[in-house]
Structure 1
Amino acid sequence: MIYSQSQLTLSVEGTLNKQAARSTSRHVDEVAQTAFPHAQESIHTSPQDDDARNTANSLTSRLDVEGSEHRVMQSTPPELSNFANEIVFVLLCSMGLLLFGVFLGDVLVNQLIFPRALRVTEGSTPWLVGSFLLANGVTVIIAGSVIDLLDPKLPMTLAFGWLVIWNLVLVFSIHPGRAILFFVARGMQGVAVGVLQASSMSLLGRLYAPGLRKNRIFSLMAAMAPIGFLIGCLKGGALEAHLPWIFAANAILSGLCVTASIWCIPAFAPASNSSILEDFDGLGALCAAVGCGLVIFGLTQGAPSGWQPYTYSTIVAGMLCFGLFYLAEQRAARPLIDNRLWTTPGFTPLAISYFLGYGAYIGGWMFYAVRFFLSIQQKAPITVALYLIPNLVSGIAATWVVSRTLHLVPGHWLLAVGMIAFTMGPVFFLPQTATTTYWALAMPGIALVTFGPDLTFAAASIFITSSVPKSFQGAAGSLLVTIQNLSAAIGTALADTVGQRVNHGAGYDLDLGALRAIWWLSLGMAVVAALICAIFMQIPALNALSLGYVK
């Protein structure tokens, strides 16, 4: 292992100080033995000598703790040339979550404009987002395991290049006769983002052991999705009259990332000397991908189609595929997800609460908060985007708070607080009317709910990636993203169904009563998630001293 000059200096100074402290303690003992050679069993040292010994022992103990904390803090990994390289590397690894938010935001803020530009029916409207989530969910669950067997640099660079191509396709697909091409290109965006998310988890898991540095990096990543959503909304709102330029800007950003990834991402040797086909769990990957695809398709298409029998059939078939996936994983020589993760204490309640929390946030609140501003309050897309600026401020604040508390506060309490933050969105939006001012309820609600994804993603991702070997980092992180995608799809499907049941408007448009019913659903899901975290989970503070890191 390579140590920096500062580490060697601290180590030498700590050793000398501890030796001095122990020497002081030994000197006190020698003085006592010399002064009282015949009465050691009945006569003790003076209070001053006891104080000296206690001071020496205290100094030694404190130096041990400080050395431990320094080891947990770590330094720039030797694979990265310097701190500036590390900053660019971490930002590139964060682009998967950032672009996930951007690609959702720039379409959602224009959710009333794109259907008119493409001239699609109401039943096709959910696929503006559903095509992206479907492809992302199918890809990430496979990519995580594949990338763990490869050098993650290559697929990450190719994914950025893939985004350049398909964003350019989207530029020319915004036309009444090209709706199918638009949906396909949106799906290709989801494929690339899935590869980026899996690659970043694999890279960060290999470079960083549990400790303060890893906590702070994952805290930064956790803020990327809400910040990316704000950036997407601002960009989409500003370019509402020039829709093709939304995707042209995405292509330019992706091109810059291609260049940066070539220079700043370190290369890794493959995790295995055998061929990928020998190690890869093909049957498990097929069952997981088909199951995820069928479930998301059935849920996305269910509400707009009136829950026709084929939607039920696809969901049931998808659940059966998940059952086959479980059986395949038990028999696989190298399963997609390390089987030790399933039996890790706290994992099951974590997965359930995370699923409910993100379903409440993305599927039950975020989509419909934007729709409330657009359709109920009749705001312009750029105004709605500006309304979401507290996302940025709260995201930065939450990142700072999380990075300072992850190693001090038990993980289940951080998750519980994050789930409570998810409730703030519906709590502040339920009393709103068409004439409620932004500053009264919407602004504090948006500011507080942003703490939810920051706290929960950071705590959950560190817990999961620290519970499996380095060779499974991408797959473990991909499991977390898959839970997010499924929860978003299921949350949106449930919300659409509830909204249409109580809707007093016409067609796919939802009135205020329907939106309130959806927010009640979101509130209930988030409260249940918080209770699960508080009652059924016991996760220690997330650092290398308390969390057993699997090497």
Structure 2
Amino acid sequence: LIGSFLLANGVSVVVSGSLADLTQSRWLVIGAFVWLTIWNLIGVFSIKPSLIVLYFFVRAMQGLAVGVFKSTAMSMFGRIYRPGQRKNRVFAAMPAMIPMGFGIGALQEGAFSANLEWVFASSTFIYLFRVPATIWAVPCLRPSASVALGEALSIKDFNFLGAAVSVSACGVMIFGLTQGAPTNWMPYTYALVIVGVLLFIAFYFVERRARRPFIDNRLWKTSGFLPLIVSYFLGYGAYVGAWMFYAVRFSLTIQNRPPIIVSCYLIPISVAGAVATWLAARTLHVLPGHYILIASMIAFSLGPVFFFPQTVHTSYWALSFPGIILRTFGPDLSFAAASIFITSNVPKSFQGAAGSLLITMQNLSSAIFTAVADTVGERVTNSGGYSLDLESLRAIWWFSFGSAMLGALICAVFVRILRSEEKEHMQ
């Protein structure tokens, strides 16, 4: 289930980021909302054991649209706002929508847990009303002119070979990783991961020869870029792939809380996300960005710290509540700092592609860390089969904690991000 969404999401992000830079990005957003409306409506009729394949396909089709939203938003905001305080505030507000949406979605699913088809039905109505709102609100942005090519960009400048290789690499690797633990790492899963790695290597050489690569090649040579990506990969993977899912699982399966109660447990994420957004917007032009990134890595590590001592009877308010609140600062602060750094170090015509790189790291880290965490839990559990007990969950949280702290160490030693200043886009 997770793999079907991540696979499609990762594939669409890679392609749609560059498409948003080269075409009318407004129509990509409108099309994505129409696409989500259609597939949520189909999802209403797919919640049946006999239609499980259709249900996985529906989740994949939803992942395609969500990937388009992410990369297109990065492209549009990156082109509209030049580096400075306004851009800081906008890019800090973007990650705040994630915890807000997560909290609302958790309440929605908890409320309709007895009638799951209404999760899709209610979402269908929401997206249906968003289509005309998008037509009215989203501006038309022409593709930026390329200084290197000396002409206005269009779809003919799209790197089709690079798209094919990168889509194949992301698809094969994510599928292999998400299938690993459920199939007890059968030989074909190892083969898929190896093929994915080889395709990523091939993508590197394709990009070097491309007339217009997906990512401006100057970004790879920017001081601190690779350590930043590695630390972001470790922190985000530790959060999504090795903590969030298992924290919810702890409340549902270990403490046996009803789904609607667990949904209410997650409401503070929305509030904490808004506070983190305000904090990031106010500090990106005051403090060096690597300080904010280090703080986000420490926040990533605090979730497991508050869950290590938990037992079956631990009160939510004693440990889960502060752990959830503090951990939420991680993704918001890290995304704001990393996205400002990346989009400010590429030309205006590469904003969507640069944003898609960051989102691709999110998808890959989520898939890789989920696969590793599942394997760790399966090896440690004493419950037999694939049922994770408390000891296996703690082992997964230790993995999450160690990864986040390693990300903080890498950032502290190798990453230096200057304070954000008012300036024009790179040429």
* TM value normalised by structure 2: 0.97
2:97 corresponding residue in structure 1: 224
Corresponding residue SS for 2:50: coil
Structure 1 residue 185 and structure 2 residue 39: aligned?
no
Deviates more, 1:206-215 or 1:368-377: 206-215
2:141 corresponding residue in structure 1: 268
Bigger RCO (CA 8 Å, 6+ sep):
2
- TM-superposed CA distance for 1:506, in Å, is 2.6
- TM-superposed CA distance for 1:291, in Å, is 0.5
- TM-superposed CA distance for 1:537, in Å, is 0.8
- TM-superposed CA distance for 1:269, in Å, is 2.2
Contact 2:2 2:178 in 1 (8 A): no
- TM-superposed CA distance for 1:256, in Å, is 1.9
Structure 1 pair 394–143 and aligned structure 2 pair: CA distance change class (3 A)? same
Percent identity between the aligned chains? 57
2:9 corresponding residue in structure 1: 136
In 1, the alpha carbon distance for the partners of 2:70 and 2:421 equals 23
1:349 corresponding residue in structure 2: 227
Structure 1 residue 467 and structure 2 residue 331: aligned?
no
1:337 corresponding residue in structure 2: 215
1:172 corresponding residue in structure 2: 45
Corresponding residue SS for 2:198: helix
- TM-superposed CA distance for 1:274, in Å, is 7.1
Structure 1 residue 302 and structure 2 residue 180: aligned?
yes
- TM-superposed CA distance for 1:276, in Å, is 4.7
In 2, the alpha carbon distance for the partners of 1:251 and 1:132 equals 18
- TM-superposed CA distance for 1:227, in Å, is 1.8
Q: 2:158 corresponds to which letter in structure 1?
A: F
Structure 1 residue 421 and structure 2 residue 299: aligned?
yes
* TM value normalised by structure 1: 0.75
In 2, the alpha carbon distance for the partners of 1:396 and 1:205 equals 21
2:148 corresponding residue in structure 1: none
Picking from 235, 251, 254, the partner of 1:376 is 254
Q: 1:17-56 maps to which residues of 2 (within 5 A)?
A: none
1:86 corresponding residue in structure 2: none
Contact 2:19 2:155 in 1 (8 A): no
In 2, the alpha carbon distance for the partners of 1:473 and 1:267 equals 16
Picking from 483, 487, 507, the partner of 2:361 is 483
Structure 1 residue 320 and structure 2 residue 320: aligned?
no
The CA deviation string for residues 145-198 of structure 1, in whole angstroms up to 9 with x for no partner, is 112110100111000000000000101100111000000010000001111111
Contact 2:40 2:121 in 1 (8 A): yes
In 1, the alpha carbon distance for the partners of 2:153 and 2:225 equals 31
Picking from 85, 91, 94, the partner of 1:212 is 85
Picking from 109, 120, 130, the partner of 1:257 is 130
Structure 1 residue 451 and structure 2 residue 329: aligned?
yes
Contact 2:144 2:152 in 1 (8 A): no
2:108 corresponding residue in structure 1: 235
Over alpha carbons, which structure has the higher Rg? 1
In 1, the alpha carbon distance for the partners of 2:88 and 2:345 equals 15
- TM-superposed CA distance for 1:278, in Å, is 3.0
Q: 1:513-528 maps to which residues of 2 (within 5 A)?
A: 513-528=391-406
In the alignment, structure 1 segments of 5+ residues that lack a partner are 1-127
In 2, the alpha carbon distance for the partners of 1:154 and 1:271 equals 16
Contact 1:459 1:542 in 2 (8 A): no
